[in-house]
Structure 1
């Protein structure tokens, strides 16, 4: 009996460790690029993509996305968004230093020395204004079998849970809205959906506390999804949706197109 209990305990620990290893931590970096820097930044973007691919190959990151923003908060006026994926919060907070990027560059660009790589990476950073950086952890994801590729669309919805209703909001997303998104995916109206919360402490004046990411394979799927209405939903389910909406404030929505992806 004791042996069985030990085996069950070890299995539970193993499952917990596996879950911890699979959890995603994401860094969102919103960029502004002045008109005169657009072409240089596009060139540097291609240069940096290879560095992030090498970082992924070495296991320092889980992935990297480069998105072109089509719409968002007017006062923000961001042009691009990068998303870097990590498998633990420590790596996420440490990020990729200039020294690490140079070391990746030495593996990828054999004809460039340390000084040339330093200058190239510095120029890439100077060509854009890193306006906002957000650290997030993934809570729920559905549709992970969909493979991201350039051209897909995403809606990044920034939410702020109503003060005092934090847990109520997350419960609503998991128990009320998640089934709706699953149904959309099953009916080819959405590719993937994710719910994230901020990974850093925040106060009542925080810009946002959560984010949902809605991925669509093309504009046709996006617009069909926008017109979707679950006519089979019961009155009780509709009331649950309304209550869930009241537990958060949808601050901003950014529509974006994927241009580069590293996995």
Structure 2
């Protein structure tokens, strides 16, 4: 445990050193909504999108996504319908991102006709209609070189990983040195649009459910299925061995396929 915490601290300080190079921090919230409240939640998500638009204009966030989950093995046996992804420029803003007073102030700016009491109740009611089962604070470690413009209707798979005990650094090297170039070749072949690799931004113990995540973005289902058939003809025997070693350094815990419903950029 002590060794794992030391490795995490080294990784975190490495992330801070990259802050000047547009380091990005991300909060993922996996959400469950009761069937009889889905329509209410859909109304809430439009309200929240406007609130987050103000948050971006005020410099509190870099962006916000709401994805509907199409498939996946559920964390803790929960049946999630949505996941939100909120992007931040630094870890302090990330940790303060759920400040209720800030959300209320932004709601009043987004909807000037609302009083403080009305905005507070709207935020409270919106939070009460969903079950936030999992919240993950993460930092981006690597991403592909692309200029893809996120739009509603695109697809993504959220792959949650857990680094094998004692192979934390080996796994991160594999993602950056082996899998990143592989996904970049997919993008260059028009078989993927965007890929990023994230690690948890808070220290975790050996019983943590996951330590990392990759987000794989596709324009549509056709591209997604074509990507699954991709054979990397450029890979060498030595690189193939590195791929296998990388796969053995992590446990792929869950994979979720999702469609982008709303976004703020």
C-alpha displacement at 1:262, in angstroms? 0.4
User: 2:258 corresponds to which residue?
Assistant: 256
Native 8 Å contact 1:60 1:91 kept in 2: yes
What do you get for the CA RMSD once the two structures are aligned?
Answer: 1.4
User: 1:195 corresponds to which residue?
Assistant: 197
Native 8 Å contact 1:21 1:88 kept in 2: no
Per-residue CA distance 1:111-151 (angstroms, 9 max, x = gap): 11111111111111111000000000000011441010100
Per-residue CA distance 1:64-93 (angstroms, 9 max, x = gap): 000001111142311100011110001111
User: 1:43 corresponds to which residue?
Assistant: 43
Looking at structure 2, the residues matched to 46 and 232 of structure 1 have their Cα atoms a distance apart, in angstroms, of: 45
Per-residue CA distance 1:25-62 (angstroms, 9 max, x = gap): 00000000000110000001101110000000110100
Native 8 Å contact 1:25 1:137 kept in 2: yes
User: 1:128 corresponds to which residue?
Assistant: 130
Native 8 Å contact 1:143 1:191 kept in 2: no
Looking at structure 2, the residues matched to 100 and 145 of structure 1 have their Cα atoms a distance apart, in angstroms, of: 31
Match of 2:181 among 175, 179, 182: 179
Greater Cα offset, 62-71 or 236-245: 236-245
User: 1:73 corresponds to which residue?
Assistant: 73
User: 1:4 corresponds to which residue?
Assistant: none
Greater Cα offset, 153-162 or 136-145: 136-145
Give the TM-score normalised by the residue count of structure 1.
0.91
Give the aligned length.
Answer: 248
Looking at structure 2, the residues matched to 90 and 202 of structure 1 have their Cα atoms a distance apart, in angstroms, of: 19
SS of the residue aligned with 1:29? strand
Looking at structure 1, the residues matched to 47 and 215 of structure 2 have their Cα atoms a distance apart, in angstroms, of: 27
C-alpha displacement at 1:18, in angstroms? 7.8
Q: Which runs of 5+ in 2 are unaligned?
A: 1-15
Per-residue CA distance 1:4-39 (angstroms, 9 max, x = gap): xxxxxxxxxxxx988436110000000000001100
- Runs (4 or more) in structure 1 with deviation over 3 Å come to 16-19
User: 1:241 corresponds to which residue?
Assistant: 243
User: 2:107 corresponds to which residue?
Assistant: 105
SS of the residue aligned with 1:38? helix
C-alpha displacement at 1:229, in angstroms? 1.2
Looking at structure 2, the residues matched to 90 and 197 of structure 1 have their Cα atoms a distance apart, in angstroms, of: 17
Match of 2:161 among 155, 159, 162: 159
Give the TM-score normalised by the residue count of structure 2.
0.91
Match runs of 1:223-234 below 5 Å: 223-234=225-236
Structure with the greater alpha carbon radius of gyration? 1
C-alpha displacement at 1:244, in angstroms? 0.9
Judging changes above 3 Å, is the alpha-carbon distance between structure 1 residues 66 and 25 closer, same or farther for their aligned structure 2 residues?
Answer: same
